[in-house]
Structure 1
Amino acid sequence: MLTIIDKYLLKRYIATFVVMLVLFIPIGIVIDVAEKINKILASDVPFKAVAIYYLDFTVYFANLLFPIFLFLSVIWFTSKLANNTEIIAILSSGISFTRFLRPYLIGATLVSVFALIMGFFLVPKASKGFNDFRYTYLKNNAEIKETSNVFRQIGDDEFIYVSNFQSTAKIAYNFVLEKFDKEKLVYKITAGRLKYNEKDSTYTMYNYNKRTVGEFNDIIETQVKKDTVFNFDLEDLTPVIYIAETLTLPELNKFIDKEQARGNGNINTYLVVLYKKYSLPVTAFILTLIAVSVSSMKRRGGMGVNLAIGIVLAFVYVFFDKIFATLAEKSSIPPLVAVWLPNVVFGILALYLLRNAKR
């Protein structure tokens, strides 16, 4: 059962975190508007599309930086408690430092559960809207998001290749599909351009050519334009990071299983995104413990010293997190190890700082 002190600290924990989000998210929006306003006006973007974009931007931005906001908010209000000698009064009443941490851990649990749900279901949709808007309205022709030299195995004996794929226009260039029987080529389909039709989920091939390998003679079929249905999904041609960030948890698990079965060489990139969905909420506990340990002591420099220490630690954490995520994608380091290693290192640091704070 929560005591009056628990409720007081928990209220300060949640309120300060919310205030931090409310203060910094509008700043992020203002900076983004200042950067993109000329392109938005030049592209004559509808107001509704802009409003939806900044709603998605808010969710995307808050999820991306919520550990830093939480960390700084805990340092802020805990430093104020220390400077007002409230922590000394609480501990002098007979409450142990471990017991003092309980409302902080309850607050971290609430924030973690909320972040977990957001990361599983809401953030992917916001990420899709955020990226779609940017590449639909804000990129010029030279900057349109493309995937180059895409090669995919779409079945046990079927392979596709495109030289370029534009995700916003849903058009692929220099399309090739090869069908094999064991190691023998059965037929090969080529098209100068392949366009996906959203209305009926069909594909239109331009400059279509199909060569069926015969025992003595090959059969060649050509058409200027041909509509057809394929057994591969459009997501097979989309950018790796782009698609991983826009899938909900069930969709991402299903997608990873499919790509593993195909032997996709970029599978580590998908796994990094998946593991981050689980590791990010755990970060709330680690950073909360570090923040309390750093700021619970009254220092000569006051709150400014605590904030300076907190900002340095926060940037070190972000640096390690980004470095190991990149290593997992580009090297042989297992994604699970790379994603969780920063949390393990900073978890050990949190326990060390907590031990010193108790003294």
Structure 2
Amino acid sequence: MKILDRYILTSFLRTFFPLFIIIMFILLLQTIWLFISELAGKDLDFSVIIKFLTFATPRLIPMVLPLTILLTSIMIFGNFAENYEFAAMKSSGISLQRAMRTLSIFIFFVGIGAFLFSNTVIPSSEKRFINLRKNIVKVKPAMVITPNQFNDLGDINIKVSEKYGDNDQFLKDVIIHKKAARPGNFTVIKAVEGELKGSVNSDLITLVLNDGNYYDEIQQRSPKRRNKLPFAKTHFEKYILNIDLSSLGNVDMDAQQYSKGYNMLNVNGLRHEIDTLSMQVNDEIRGTGEEVNRRIGYEGLNRNMKIDTVQVSKNESKDTLDLMSIFSTTQKIQIYKSAITNTDGVTRKINTLEKNTTTKRRFLNKYEMSLHDKYALGISCILLFFVGAPLGAIIRKGGLGLPIVIGVVLFLTYHFIGIFAKNSAEEGGIPPFIGSWLSTFIIFPLSIFLTRRATTDQGIFSFDNFIQPVRDFFAKRASKSKK
């Protein structure tokens, strides 16, 4: 490695690592603020908090690493241009491309490392992070309950208006919907007050309810009795409900039930889940289509009817068949009722299919975007370097002032475009591939444009191209007025 290459690489790394640590620290503070309700006032050990922050750190790399590369590139090349080091390089016959060659190779390997990191470390840390949060929920079950909304807690859905106490163990205005094998909310419990009691070494917590009512809707086999909506009601002064939290707080960090999220899988796992979800959606659509055709009798539509025996209506042309003229009034009524019933059943079936497929497609879009994000991270690191380095050489300003402002504005634009694209792709507005790569596609021509302008010693915009025609216009008007 030549002295110049060593000097450029050393200058870049001296700025890169401190800036990386500062940005990581800022975003880590933001993460603490987001999860402050799960950490504050829970009497957690310091080691648990350290684990929490350690597992939360890798998930920040997709934002910290591209931003650090962009800011460092602008600052370093801005310093070179401001201190006339580029002028000395060019006078020695060293172009901008030659000066960027060593850093380009370094950033290329950083991009490969970013992909490997996002494919191995981030999924593992996400799995441990989520399992650790579930473990904290088991130790402090009151933290999972958010006031004024229904919360899934074990085999119940619970809603409270207020939590209070040292550990938020006391509840006020409790409403509980118990889950059952049959779909629907058939058992409802309401109480004025409640208290959560639990043990660290147990997967069960005890919910003690005071002064409430127990409602249970009775399901009758007879449709006539079912229409009367029978139910049982019981008043209680004290009711004890044991809740199993083993499904929420499995201490085993490698449990499979907490390793199927789209952010906890590597490339191979994501591809497998995408294939599985795609097959489920296609099979469900195909099965619903077959069931609808069977219910409306599409296959046997003309099987039991002889066209030659059907009468022709006198008021219509000879090519028009009056199918209803061969049935009596009673048969017509039965036909109409059967048609209404079948139509209603088919409509409900299609509506259910639409809801199920919408939910599954939303998950499918998340899995596909997570797969593309792993590749887009490394590419974005490389492209942002080719945006920041030429931009620093053009603005000819280093340090922590203007380069930081320009870099942050560029990155926020890049980041928000990616967020809006992913939100649209999640809802099915655009393909998941576009949602993950749109911001990268936008900065790609920008990197080419800035690199080309910097290598030819041109600014971002040539103002003479806009000002000179205006000057020529007024000069011609002035010469005409003099004549």
Settle same-fold status: TM greater than 0.5: yes
Deviates more, 1:303-312 or 1:28-37: 28-37
1:115 is matched with 114
CA, structure 1 residues 123+175, in 2 after alignment: closer, same or farther (shift >3 Å)?
A: farther
1:252 to 267, 270, 274: 270
2:60 is matched with 61
1:142 is matched with 146
Matched, 1:71 2:89: no
Unaligned runs of 5+ in 1: 149-161, 165-171, 178-190, 193-233
**Whole-Å Cα distance in 1 between the matches of residues 115 and 150 of structure 2?**
29
Residue correspondence of structure 1 range 37-186 to structure 2 within 5 A: 39-134=38-133, 136-137=135-136, 139-142=143-146, 173-175=179-181
CA, structure 1 residues 341+28, in 2 after alignment: closer, same or farther (shift >3 Å)?
A: closer
**Whole-Å Cα distance in 1 between the matches of residues 30 and 43 of structure 2?**
20
CA, structure 1 residues 92+145, in 2 after alignment: closer, same or farther (shift >3 Å)?
A: farther
Matched, 1:315 2:314: no
**Whole-Å Cα distance in 1 between the matches of residues 432 and 68 of structure 2?**
26
**Whole-Å Cα distance in 2 between the matches of residues 65 and 163 of structure 1?**
40
**Whole-Å Cα distance in 1 between the matches of residues 408 and 21 of structure 2?**
19
Contact 2:96 2:455 (8 Å CA) reproduced: yes
CA RMSD of aligned residues (A): 3.5
2:7 is matched with 8
Code of the aligned partner of 1:321: G
Task: Give the number of the structure whose alpha-carbon radius of gyration is greater.
Answer: 2
Q: How far 1:176 sits from its partner (Å)?
A: 5.8
Q: How far 1:129 sits from its partner (Å)?
A: 2.8
Aligned residues: 283
Q: How far 1:256 sits from its partner (Å)?
A: 1.6
**Whole-Å Cα distance in 2 between the matches of residues 99 and 301 of structure 1?**
20
**Whole-Å Cα distance in 1 between the matches of residues 182 and 399 of structure 2?**
66
SS at match of 2:401: helix
CA, structure 1 residues 94+128, in 2 after alignment: closer, same or farther (shift >3 Å)?
A: same
Contact 2:79 2:398 (8 Å CA) reproduced: no
2:234 is matched with none
Contact 1:116 1:281 (8 Å CA) reproduced: yes
Contact 2:78 2:398 (8 Å CA) reproduced: no
2:394 is matched with 297
Residue correspondence of structure 1 range 147-226 to structure 2 within 5 A: 173-175=179-181
Q: How far 1:320 sits from its partner (Å)?
A: 0.8
Contact 1:294 1:310 (8 Å CA) reproduced: no
Code of the aligned partner of 2:55: D
Deviations 1:3-27 (A, max 9, x none): 2222222233333222212223233
1:216 is matched with none
2:243 is matched with none
Q: How far 1:121 sits from its partner (Å)?
A: 0.6
Matched, 1:331 2:428: yes
Contact 2:111 2:379 (8 Å CA) reproduced: yes
CA, structure 1 residues 147+349, in 2 after alignment: closer, same or farther (shift >3 Å)?
A: farther
1:345 to 442, 446, 453: 442
Contact 2:16 2:72 (8 Å CA) reproduced: yes
Deviations 1:150-206 (A, max 9, x none): xxxxxxxxxxxx997xxxxxxx944569xxxxxxxxxxxxx99xxxxxxxxxxxxxx
Contact 1:83 1:302 (8 Å CA) reproduced: no
CA, structure 1 residues 340+63, in 2 after alignment: closer, same or farther (shift >3 Å)?
A: closer
Contact 2:111 2:378 (8 Å CA) reproduced: yes
SS at match of 2:90: helix
**Whole-Å Cα distance in 1 between the matches of residues 182 and 88 of structure 2?**
74
CA, structure 1 residues 54+286, in 2 after alignment: closer, same or farther (shift >3 Å)?
A: same
Code of the aligned partner of 1:109: F
Deviates more, 1:80-89 or 1:119-128: 80-89
Deviations 1:267-320 (A, max 9, x none): 111101110110111001111011011101354797633332222111110111
Contact 1:235 1:243 (8 Å CA) reproduced: no
**Whole-Å Cα distance in 2 between the matches of residues 132 and 74 of structure 1?**
38
CA, structure 1 residues 325+163, in 2 after alignment: closer, same or farther (shift >3 Å)?
A: farther
Contact 1:57 1:126 (8 Å CA) reproduced: yes
Q: How far 1:105 sits from its partner (Å)?
A: 1.1
CA, structure 1 residues 274+37, in 2 after alignment: closer, same or farther (shift >3 Å)?
A: closer
Code of the aligned partner of 2:278: Q
Contact 2:62 2:377 (8 Å CA) reproduced: no
**Whole-Å Cα distance in 1 between the matches of residues 450 and 410 of structure 2?**
12
**Whole-Å Cα distance in 2 between the matches of residues 257 and 344 of structure 1?**
26
**Whole-Å Cα distance in 2 between the matches of residues 311 and 331 of structure 1?**
30
